[in-house]
Amino acid sequence: MTGTPLPPLSPLARPASALDELHFAPRLLMGPGPINADPRVLKAMSSQLLGQFDPQFRRMMRETMVLYRQFFETQNDWTLVLDGTARSAIEMVMLSAIEPGDKVLVCSFGRFGQLLNEIAQRCAAKVRVVQAPWGTVFDLAQIEAAIKDFSPKLVAVCQGDTSTTMLQPLDGLGALCHRYGAMLQVDATASCGGTPLPVDAWHIDAVTAGLQKCLAGPSGASPISLSQAMASAIYRRRHIEDGLQPAGYMPGAGQRIASNYMDLAMVMDYWSDAGLNHHTEATTMLYGARECARIFVQEGLPAAYARHAAASRAVVAGVQGMNLKLYGDQANKMPNVTGVYVPDGVNGDKLRAALLNDFNIEIGTSFGPLAGKVWRIGAMGYNARPDCVLQTLAALEVVLAAEGHRFSRGAGVDAAYASYKDGGH
């Protein structure tokens, strides 16, 4: 029997270290994410386990919904947390909202726009992609022209795409989609918490996020918020599984969602007052998600956004002080990730390895046409602090000099420090 060969695996023999307790070298994660989790989040995740229908746990679920309504600046009832990484949330919303043959317009300006296209195609949608060159974003006229020509049911776009470090302006896009009878789905995994995302004011129908970036948690749980229109479109496909159907049950008018686990209508039933069983809740991840939102709301949205903006200005000042060139349209740069060209004569991967091995600091490379050409330096969540930024820039100066890059030693750290002192933090 022939076919695609399976990928190689390491030997099956058990290494001696497999019986050791986990003990890793400390890392300062200053790439595009994940980043270091806030210790308060890790503490919350160590809380006692509860049954998923324990009254204490159900109360905690309601508290989590309230906190994420504040986080997303929305009154949406259906604001909750899904088990799974941010990609699973994108797929769950699409799979539950899109019926085979529905039209989906994807606005792609980087790798994660390409992911939206991939997921929509797997949902058996009729997909059209409008593309902005990497390092740029769309203006509303480009998207409007595509909507008028295609008449989609759903428009999908990233707010921030970490592959290019660009931030798509969203103000006016939701209203534009609604004018032509389309709903708007936004992947805000890379940007939420670091830049404004007023879901109601911007008329966003579905927003999906993750914890592992500006929210300062681990990956594995995904906050979402659904407008009434999106929630209704999903719930018309409600089909309760056989073992749970109550007497007199009538399925929804829409086609049954193709996946049981990814069936958002059934997950909505679980989060609702009905509390229908779906899957066993990822208890500790929900504890962490609640704590991420609590910390953010306690800090206050304006303060959190200002902290990320200050870190961004400091990183930009620092890398420019090292005679490095920024990547992309700086007028639409994400505040929490900065793209930097690898300078001529420098081996980008070798430098990143030196940062990791000698200084325990991680920064990122990029994908596709930018692979090996651009570094991505993140300053977000718990790491959007002066000490993290200055420590990273100081280490970067050392390894850049060792690679022969020419610049004034100390200029980068001095510029970043001055940026913080001038603008506050």
The predicted-structure confidence for 12-57, as pLDDT tens digits, reads as follows 777 888 889 999 999 999 999 999 999 999 999 999 999 999 999 9
Q: What are 81's strand-pairing partners?
A: 223
Structural domains in the chain plus CATH codes: 39-297 (3.40.640.10), 301-423 (3.90.1150.10)
**CA nearest neighbour of 343 among 272, 408, 407, 256:** 407
Compute CA distances 267 → 130, 185, 301, 304, whole Å: 32, 18, 28, 30
Question: What's the pLDDT at 385?
Answer: 97
DSSP 7-66: PP----SPPGGGGSPP-PPP-EE-SSS--PPPHHHHHHHTSPP--TT-HHHHHHHHHHHH
Q: Output the pLDDT for position 15.
A: 80
- What is the CA 171 to chain-centroid distance, rounded? 19
ω before 5 within 30° of 0 (cis)?
no
* CA-to-CA separations, 72 to 75, 104, 157, 170, 292, in angstroms, rounded: 9, 24, 17, 14, 13
Is there a cis peptide before residue 34, judged by omega within 30 degrees of 0?
A: yes
Separation of alpha carbons 399 and 41, rounded Å = 33
- The Cα–Cα gap between 86 and 93 comes to 11
| Positions in the chain whose pLDDT score sits under 50 | none
For residue 16, the model assigns a pLDDT of: 81
| Of 96, 140, 91, residue with least CA distance to 112 | 91
| pLDDT tens sequence across 292-306 | 999 999 999 999 999
